């Protein structure tokens, strides 16, 4: 009976600690601060060629430039490497709740962003037909709200981030226990 009591106590303590840790993971600051978001986006544009300006257009020069950064890559291959399938791109439920920020933005790229809402895959030339999220998400690498049909020179495969566990792990750098992990520990 005493063993059962200790086991229950441990379980409750672990659960409390899990809840308080996750409550501590707040929305990333740029999702709540338009100026910071824009500053980070502009830094990504300047340092890593975040683009193209309008992904609804073919933007062949942009994709040729992007392909030139990857030895042996073609523009068509570069077109397959979008934010939507980048490991840093987060479209988890928790992040989509964090994401909405003011749309009162007047710079050219933000105005194009307004046109990207509610578009479908076929509206974006060369966008991958499978494996990439479509729409806005959060870039953990450059820390701003980006659109899945754009890309940058620091793209890395393995995305997008789609679950809250992956999102918290990516944001904090700490591995989260999945339901499978928790079941295996019991
Ligand atoms: S790091 Fe990935 S998600 Fe972020 S801007 Fe570059 S391609 Fe997009």
Residue 8's pLDDT band (cuts 50, 70, 90): low
- The per-residue pLDDT for range 113-139, each reduced to its tens digit, is 889 988 999 999 999 999 999 999 999
Q: Which residues contact 185 (CB under 8 A, 6 or more apart)?
A: 177
Is 44 close to ligand 1, i.e. is its CB under 6 Å away? yes
What is the structure's pLDDT at 103? 60
Is 161 close to ligand 1, i.e. is its CB under 6 Å away? no
| Minimum-distance ligand 1 atom for the alpha carbon of 152 | 6
184 vs 72: which has the higher pLDDT: 72
Measured in degrees and rounded to the nearest 5, phi and psi for residue 109 equal: -65, -40
Ligand 1 probe mutation, 51, 66, 85, 86, most atoms within 8 A of CB: 86
Q: Among positive and negative, which fits the CA dihedral 16, 18, 19, 25?
A: positive
The percent of residues in the chain predicted with pLDDT above 90, rounded, is: 67
d(Cα 68, Cα 179) in Å, to the nearest integer?
42
25 vs 106: which has the higher pLDDT: 25
**Nearest partner of 110 among 33, 168, 54, 148, judged by Cα:** 54
What is the structure's pLDDT at 36? 95
Measured in degrees and rounded to the nearest 5, phi and psi for residue 123 equal: -75, -15
Is 151 close to ligand 1, i.e. is its CB under 6 Å away? yes
**Nearest partner of 44 among 170, 172, 151, 167, judged by Cα:** 151
User: What pTM was computed for the model?
Assistant: 0.82
The percent of residues in the chain predicted with pLDDT above 70, rounded, is: 79
Q: Output the six-digit token pair for 15.
A: 């659960």
| Minimum-distance ligand 1 atom for the alpha carbon of 142 | 4
**Nearest partner of 101 among 60, 146, 132, judged by Cα:** 146
Is residue 68 predicted with pLDDT exceeding 80? yes
| Minimum-distance ligand 1 atom for the alpha carbon of 50 | 5
What is the structure's pLDDT at 108? 84
Q: Output the six-digit token pair for 21.
A: 């840790």
Q: Are 103 and 114 in contact (CB under 8 A)?
A: yes
Q: Residue with structure tokens 């964090």? A: 98
| Minimum-distance ligand 1 atom for the alpha carbon of 140 | 4
What is the structure's pLDDT at 19? 47
Is residue 100 predicted with pLDDT exceeding 50? yes
């Amino acid at each position: 009976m005493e063993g059962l009591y200790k086991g229950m106590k441990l379980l409750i303590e672990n659960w409390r600690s899990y809840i308080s840790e996750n409550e501590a993971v707040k929305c990333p600051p740029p999702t709540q601060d338009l100026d910071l978001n824009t500053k980070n986006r502009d830094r990504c544009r300047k340092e890593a060629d975040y683009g193209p300006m309008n992904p609804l257009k073919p933007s062949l020069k942009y994709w040729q430039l992007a392909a030139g950064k990857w030895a042996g890559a073609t523009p068509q291959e570069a077109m397959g490497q979008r934010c939507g399938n980048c490991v840093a791109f987060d479209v988890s439920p928790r992040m989509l709740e964090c994401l909405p920020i003011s749309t009162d933005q007047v710079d050219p790229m933000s105005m194009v962003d307004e046109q990207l809402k509610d578009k479908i895959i076929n509206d974006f030339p060369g966008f991958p037909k499978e494996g990439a999220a479509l729409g806005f998400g959060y870039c953990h690498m450059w820390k701003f709200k980006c659109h899945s049909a754009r890309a940058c020179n620091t793209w890395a495969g393995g995305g997008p981030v789609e679950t809250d566990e992956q999102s918290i792990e990516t944001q904090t750098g700490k591995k989260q226990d999945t339901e499978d992990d928790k079941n295996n520990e019991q």
